[in-house]
């Protein structure tokens, strides 16, 4: 039974990766959630397609009973399992989704972390002495200049660049396409990178392979992976002495917040970020409001908060 359950999960993961084209990070999260569910089923000798609503409630109750499991994580796992069983229903394997009537914990939206202008300048000014340094610098510039998601930038190909128009075509969630724009300093850096990239691929012997189209390539000449990017960001966080977290998404958050701070309309930012709904973009207006309040309380004589007597 354990083997049969695993086969069904792998079939679903193949579907979301190859057919729905979800990001590598999303597939990893789904795999983690479903693996934990498989462990639950194995302990109870349950077939994955014979799970009842009561079994589903027991699983969620077990998660909620884990003090180390935060509500957003439980909600994500619940979403993963709803999606798995919706897929099973479409395949005709089951007639009822056992997780359909289970409500998640109330959601709260944590304000995204944003880097300061000074931090951004430091990040975009990292020294370049090797091809790898140049690639990393190009990556930082592109994240901040375009507001791309990690998956969008990693999936970008050289052919997606339109440098004469100072823009790049990206494919976002649901395979929706949009153009993002590249500023003049970033364009100059990309041109320099592309010149060295071709020679680098020839030296690695990968210039004729499929990955040779990838805009960002790793040290072996293959398309750069998400895990490599996270390692690069952590390396530079330590090198730059950043006391905050440093991730690709923080550069995306900073792009959106700084655009709004400079009076860009929220609809423009929505389109640049590739958000399907304006409500997703509105969280960045909250960030700006929080910053406005901080400036007010620091600067206005009657707005200053008193500390002590």
- Region of 31 please: left (phi>0), alpha (psi -120 to 50) or beta: alpha
What local confidence, expressed as pLDDT, does residue 109 receive? 55
pLDDT at 82 over 50: yes
Choice between 14 and 71, residue whose per-residue pLDDT is larger: 14
What local confidence, expressed as pLDDT, does residue 284 receive? 72
pLDDT at 252 over 60: yes
- Take residue 142 and report the two structure tokens written for it: 């592109």
What local confidence, expressed as pLDDT, does residue 64 receive? 82
- For the chain, give the percent of residues with pLDDT over 90: 59
In the chain, helix, strand, coil percent, each to 5? Answer: 60, 5, 35
CATH code linked to domain 2-90: 1.10.150.130
What local confidence, expressed as pLDDT, does residue 309 receive? 43
Q: Residue 139 — pLDDT band, cuts 50, 70, 90?
A: very high
Catalytic residue among 12, 30, 135, 149: 149
| Residue boundaries of the structural domains of the chain | 2-90, 117-296
* Region 280-308 average pLDDT: 61
* Region 270-282 average pLDDT: 82
Choice between 279 and 183, residue whose per-residue pLDDT is larger: 183
> In angstroms, rounded to a whole number, what is the distance separating the alpha carbons of residues 302 and 86?
56
Would residue 284 show up in a list of annotated catalytic residues for this protein?
yes
Question: Is the distance from CB of 75 to CB of 107 less than 8 angstroms?
Answer: yes
Q: Are 2-90 and 117-296 the same fold in CATH?
A: no
Question: Is the distance from CB of 250 to CB of 287 less than 8 angstroms?
Answer: no
**Cα separations in angstroms, 290 against 112, 119, 247, 263, 295:** 11, 19, 21, 16, 9
Would residue 76 show up in a list of annotated catalytic residues for this protein?
no
Question: Is the distance from CB of 84 to CB of 97 less than 8 angstroms?
Answer: no
pLDDT at 168 over 60: yes
Catalytic residue among 141, 223, 258, 275: 275
What local confidence, expressed as pLDDT, does residue 259 receive? 86
Supply the mean pLDDT for the chain.
Answer: 87
Catalytic residue among 57, 76, 249, 291: 249
Catalytic residue among 85, 87, 193, 284: 284
* Region 239-248 average pLDDT: 91
- Region of 67 please: left (phi>0), alpha (psi -120 to 50) or beta: alpha
Catalytic residue among 173, 178, 204, 230: 173
Q: Token match 């931090």: residue?
A: 119
Q: Residue 262 — pLDDT band, cuts 50, 70, 90?
A: confident
What local confidence, expressed as pLDDT, does residue 248 receive? 94
Catalytic residue among 141, 223, 252, 258: 252
Question: Is the distance from CB of 16 to CB of 27 less than 8 angstroms?
Answer: yes
pLDDT at 107 over 60: no
> In angstroms, rounded to a whole number, what is the distance separating the alpha carbons of residues 47 and 51?
7
pLDDT tens-place string over residues 171-224: 887 778 999 999 999 999 999 999 999 999 998 888 767 778 999 999 999 999
- List the end-to-end C-alpha distance of the chain, in Å, as a whole number: 69
* Region 154-178 average pLDDT: 91
Would residue 149 show up in a list of annotated catalytic residues for this protein?
yes
- CATH T-level fold of 117-296: hpI Integrase; Chain A (1.10.443)
What local confidence, expressed as pLDDT, does residue 307 receive? 47
* Region 264-290 average pLDDT: 77
């Amino acid at each position: 039974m354990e083997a049969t359950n695993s086969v069904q999960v792998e079939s679903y993961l193949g579907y979301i990766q190859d057919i729905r084209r979800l990001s590598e990070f999303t597939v990893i999260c789904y795999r983690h959630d479903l693996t934990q569910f498989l462990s639950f089923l194995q302990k109870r000798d349950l077939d994955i397609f014979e799970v009842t609503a009561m079994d589903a409630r027991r699983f969620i109750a077990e998660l909620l009973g884990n003090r180390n499991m935060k509500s957003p994580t439980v909600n994500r796992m619940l979403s993963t399992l709803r999606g798995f069983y919706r897929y099973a229903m479409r395949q005709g394997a089951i007639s009822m989704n056992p997780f359909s009537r289970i409500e998640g914990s109330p959601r709260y939206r944590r304000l995204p972390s944003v880097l300061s202008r000074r931090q951004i300048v430091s990040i975009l000014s990292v020294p370049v002495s090797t091809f790898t340094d140049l690639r990393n610098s190009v990556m930082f510039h592109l994240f901040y200049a375009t507001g791309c998601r990690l998956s969008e930038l990693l999936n970008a190909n050289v052919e997606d660049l339109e440098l004469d128009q100072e823009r790049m075509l990206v494919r976002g969630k649901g395979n929706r396409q949009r153009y993002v724009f590249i500023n003049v300093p970033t364009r100059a850096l990309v041109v320099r990178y592309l010149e060295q990239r071709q020679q680098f691929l020839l030296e690695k012997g990968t210039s004729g392979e499929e990955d040779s189209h990838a805009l960002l390539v790793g040290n072996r000449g293959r398309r750069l992976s998400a895990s490599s990017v996270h390692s690069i960001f952590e390396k530079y966080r330590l090198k730059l002495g950043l006391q905050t977290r440093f991730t690709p998404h923080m550069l995306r958050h900073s792009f959106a917040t700084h655009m709004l701070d400079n009076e860009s309309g929220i609809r423009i930012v929505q389109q640049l970020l590739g958000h399907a709904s304006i409500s997703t973009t509105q969280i960045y207006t909250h960030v700006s409001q929080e910053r406005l309040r901080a400036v007010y309380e620091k600067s206005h004589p009657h707005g200053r908060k008193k500390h002590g007597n």
